[in-house]
Amino acid sequence: MIMTHDAAALKAREIASRVLAPSAGQNDKAGQFSTEAVKSLGDAGLLGLLLPVNVGGAELGPRTFAAVTAALAEADASVAMVYLMHVLGTATISAARPRAAQALTPILQEIAAGRHLSTLAFSEAGSRSHFWAPISRAHRNGDGVRIRAKKSWVTSAGHAHSYVVSALAPEGVGPTDSTLYLLSSGTRGLSVAGPWDGLGLRANASAPLALDDCEVPLQFQLTDDGGGFSAMLNVVLPLFNLGTAAVALGLCRAAVAGTTSHLKSAKFEHLGQSLGESLPTLRAQLATMQIDTDGLAARIDDLIEHLEKPRDTTMLRVLESKAAAGDVAISVTSTAMRVCGGAAFSKHLSIERLFRDAHAGVVMAPTGDVLREFIGKSLLGIPLF
Ligand SMILES: Cc1cc2nc3c(=O)[nH]c(=O)nc-3n(C[C@H](O)[C@H](O)[C@H](O)COP(=O)(O)OP(=O)(O)OC[C@H]3O[C@@H](n4cnc5c(N)ncnc54)[C@H](O)[C@@H]3O)c2cc1C
From first to last of the 385 residues of the chain, give the pLDDT tens digit.
789 999 999 999 999 999 999 999 999 999 999 999 999 999 999 999 999 999 999 999 999 999 999 999 999 999 999 999 999 999 999 999 999 999 999 999 999 999 999 999 999 999 999 999 999 999 999 999 999 999 999 999 999 999 999 999 999 999 999 999 999 999 999 999 999 999 999 999 999 999 999 999 999 999 999 999 999 999 999 999 999 999 999 999 999 999 999 999 999 999 999 999 999 999 999 999 999 999 999 999 999 999 999 999 999 999 999 999 999 999 999 999 999 999 999 998 999 999 999 999 999 999 999 999 999 999 999 998 8
Question: Which of ligand 1's atoms lies nearest the C-alpha of 151?
Answer: 11
Characterize the bridge pairing of strands 144-154 and 273-274: unpaired
Amino acid at 239: L
Q: What is the pLDDT of residue 259?
A: 98
Q: In angstroms, what is the span from residue 131 Cα to ligand 1's centroid?
A: 8
Mutate to test the pocket of ligand 1, among 82, 129, 154 (most ligand atoms within 8 A of CB): 129
Q: Which residues sit with their C-beta closer than 6 Å to ligand 1? A: 85, 119-123, 128-129, 131, 153-155, 198, 201, 206, 360, 363-365, 367, 369-370, 373
Spatial separation of the C-alpha atoms in residues 234 and 315, rounded to whole Å: 9
Which atom of ligand 1 is nearest the CA belonging to 365? 17
Which atom, in ligand 1's list, is nearest to the CA of 198?
A: 1
**What is the whole-number distance in angstroms between the Cα of residue 197 and the centre of ligand 1?**
16
> On the CB side of 275, how many CA atoms lie within 13 Å of its CA?
19
Task: Round to whole Å and give the CA distance between 41 and 365.
Answer: 25
Distance of CA 130 to the CA centre of its chain: 17
On the question of a cis peptide bond just before residue 366, with omega within 30 degrees of 0, the verdict is yes
Determine the 3-state secondary structure of 350 from DSSP. coil
28 phi and psi angles, rounded to 5 deg: -60, -45
Nearest protein CA to atom 52 of ligand 1, as residue: 364
3-state secondary structure of 162: strand
Beta strands 118-121 and 162-168 are: parallel
Residue 50, pLDDT score: 98
Distance 319 CA to ligand 1 centre (A): 15
* Whole-number pLDDT of residue 385: 86
The DSSP annotation for 52-92 comes to: -GGGT-----HHHHHHHHHHHHHH-HHHHHHHHHHHHHHHH
Instruction: Return the SS3 of 195.
Output: coil
Residue 4 is given by DSSP the state P
pLDDT given at position 2: 85
Specify the pLDDT at position 303: 98
Quickly count: other Cβ atoms within 10 Å of residue 204's Cβ: 31
Which pTM value belongs to this model? Answer: 0.98
Segment holding 280, helix H or strand E:
helix 280-308
Ligand 1 centroid–CA 14 distance in Å is 33
Task: Give dist(CA 221, CA 92) in Å, integer.
Answer: 11
Instruction: For residue 182, give every residue at least 6 positions away whose Cβ sits within 8 Å of its Cβ, in sequence order, or none.
Output: 93, 96, 104, 107, 162, 163, 164, 165, 216, 220, 222
Q: Ligand 1 centre and the CA of 345: distance in Å? A: 27
Residue 382 confidence (pLDDT): 95
